[in-house]
Amino acid sequence: MSARLLDKIVAVTGASKGIGKALALGLAREGAHLLVNYHSDTAGAERVVKEIEGLGRRAVAVRADISRVADIHLMFEAVRRELGRIDVLVNNAGITGWTSLFEITEAKWDQVVDTNLKGTFFCSLEAARMMRETGGGSIVNVSSNCAALGVKNLVAYATSKAGIHGLTKQLAVELAPYRIRVNTFAPGPTQVDRNLRDDPDYDRSWGSMTLLDRTALPEEMVGPAVFLACDESSYMTGQVLYVDGGWTVQGRVPVGNLDRALAQNR
């Protein structure tokens, strides 16, 4: 087993499926012990825990709605109780919230922004409180290339992810004296169940928008996460790394896909 994260304690939010699941398993393969956060998919989280334990690592599943600060506080109490400390936090949990601009409601806006941006901030704050007790750590945020390029029907989502980029810089400044690094990576179009459910033709329609002419597999996000979590990136903080097949270089979008996704989520 690689030693890049050997015996580090890592919390991954939204880790029961999709990119979060891939990250939790990939970090475990690098030697980490995991807190697997989930909101509603209990069975998925339990399967991830079993797989991590099969790799010889410790894991615990903790339910928390990260749009709620009280839930976040309880989740980090569980980290302290079950795993003793935290070395790395991966802020992965997020929701898309498809809606046309003129149909967005206050409730929809709050749901998306509270989960994606507020949740990232308060998870980071709780983790940083623990990290400063033990001499430092790494916070890795998962953003989106939608933060760099506006995308139709995703006003709350794109805004929340752009907010994460600003938050990354601010937290890097605030937490550097405590030897806590804060970085973000921004995935491009990725083959997760949510995207494939919204559009069965997702790989073709979005893949053709990227320079590499394909969408990503969730497992392709593991390398950037491990790099930002471990000492290989020890002189990096406040940075945003795009992992998007070159999508942000040319910035085209499949308009038909965006309309289908909106219709699917009405």
- Residues 69-114: tens digit of each pLDDT: 999 999 999 999 999 999 999 999 999 999 999 999 999 999 999 9
- Output DSSP code: residue 190: B
CA distance linking residue 73 with residue 127, whole number of Å: 10
pLDDT of 2 reads 54
185 Cβ contact partners less than 8 Å away, ≥ 6 residues apart: 140, 141, 142, 143, 221, 224, 225, 228, 240, 241, 242, 243
Q: Where are the domains of the chain?
A: 9-193+215-248
CATH no. of 9-193+215-248: 3.40.50.720
Band of residue 255 on the pLDDT scale cut at 50, 70, 90: low
Fill in the amino acid letter for 151.
V
C-beta separation of 238 from 168 below 8 A: yes
Structure tokens at 131: 């990290």
Among 3-12, 45-54, 229-238, 242-251, the least confident range: 242-251
151 Cβ contact partners less than 8 Å away, ≥ 6 residues apart: 157, 158, 253, 258
Determine the straight-line distance between the first and last CA of the chain, rounded to whole angstroms: 45
pLDDT tens per residue, range 171-223 = 999 999 999 999 999 999 999 988 888 788 888 888 988 999 999 999 999 99
pLDDT tens per residue, range 130-161 = 999 999 999 999 999 999 988 899 999 999 99
Band of residue 259 on the pLDDT scale cut at 50, 70, 90: confident
Whole-model pTM? 0.94
What percentage of the chain reaches a pLDDT higher than 90?
83
Instruction: Reply yes or no on whether the pLDDT at 256 is more than 80.
Output: no
- Looking at residues 28-49, what average pLDDT do you find? 98
Confirm whether 157 is a catalytic residue: yes
C-beta separation of 91 from 124 below 8 A: yes
Of the candidates 65, 75, 11, the one whose C-alpha atom is nearest the C-alpha of residue 41 is 65
C-beta separation of 170 from 122 below 8 A: no
Fill in the amino acid letter for 202.
Y
Of the candidates 67, 221, 197, the one whose C-alpha atom is nearest the C-alpha of residue 144 is 221
Candidate list 157, 178, 202, 235, residue with the active-site label: 157
C-beta separation of 197 from 261 below 8 A: no
Mean pLDDT (the chain, rounded)? 94
pLDDT of 195 reads 83
- Looking at residues 23-49, what average pLDDT do you find? 98
For the chain, give percent helix, strand, coil, nearest 5. Answer: 55, 15, 35
pLDDT tens per residue, range 223-237 = 999 999 999 999 999
Structure tokens at 120: 């990232």
